[in-house]
Amino acid sequence: MRADKGGWNYNPTSIPNEQADNSNSGFVAIALHFAETPLQSPPTPGGFGLTIPAFVKDGLNDWINYIQQNGGTDDGGSYYSDHDGVPNVLRTGSLLQEIALVGDTAATPRVQRAIDYLVLHWNDLNFGEDPGDEGWKGKPGEISNYLATFTVMQGALALGLQRIGGIDWYNDFADAIVGQQNLDGS
C-alpha cells in the first residue's frame, strides 16, 4: 500500500505507482465539503446534504497525514506530492479544507501546525513554479495568486476561522484584490 493513498490525481487511476497530489486533492475536498453541507434556503448558500462515505474520509485522513510536512522549518505546510518540492500557501489552504472535511477543528494540533505555517509565510511573494512559490502575494507589478487566496479562504471558512494566527485574512485578501482591480471592474 502506498503512503499517499486517499488523495486524488488528475485522472482516475488504479495504477500502483500513480501518485496523488494536493492541488487536485484540495479541489476534490472543496467539492465534497459542498456536497455534504446541508441544503439551505436562498439566499444562504448551501450544499446538497449528501453523505460522504466513511472510507473516503478515512482515505483522505491518511492522505493528510502523509502530505503535511512534519518537522523542519516548514512544519505544518503541505507538499505537492510524494514530499517533493517545498510546501506552499496554496496547498496548505487546501490542507485546511481537507482537515475540516474529516472532522478536525481549529483546535486540532495539525490545524494549528498548518496555521503556524501560513503565518510564517503570509507575506511571502509568489514567483510561480518551484522554487520560491511559497506565498500568495504577487511579486511587484504582478497580481496575487488568486488560487492561493481561494484555497486559504475555503479552508478558513470550513474551520470557522475569522483570523489565521491573528491575521485578518479576509481584509488582507480583499485589499490585495481590490488594489489589483482594473478600471473596468475586471
pLDDT, tens digit, for every residue of 63-85?
999 999 998 878 999 988 877 77
Per-residue confidence (pLDDT) for residue 1, from 0 to 100: 40
DSSP of 91-122, one letter per residue? HHHHHHHHHHHTT--TTSHHHHHHHHHHHHHT
Model pLDDT for residues 13-48, shown as the tens digit of each residue? 666 667 888 989 999 999 999 999 888 777 667 788
Residues 6+ apart with CB under 8 A from 14: none
Is the model's pLDDT at 133 over the cut of 70?
A: no
- Asked whether the beta carbons of 113 and 147 are under 8 A apart, the reply is no
Which residue did the predictor score with more confidence, 135 or 40?
135
3-state DSSP: the chain helix, strand, coil percent, rounded to 5?
45, 5, 50
Among residues 37, 30, 25, the alpha carbon closest in space to that of 64 is found at 25
Per-residue confidence (pLDDT) for residue 51, from 0 to 100: 95
Is the model's pLDDT at 130 over the cut of 60?
A: no
Say what percent of the chain tops pLDDT 70: 89
Residue type, 171: N
| Sequence ranges of the domains in the chain | 22-179
**Nine-digit cell at 66?**
502523509
DSSP of 139-166, one letter per residue? PTTS---HHHHHHHHHHHHHHT-SSBTT
Among residues 53, 51, 79, the alpha carbon closest in space to that of 66 is found at 79
Q: How many Cα neighbours within 13 Å face the side chain of 148? A: 30
Per-residue confidence (pLDDT) for residue 138, from 0 to 100: 78
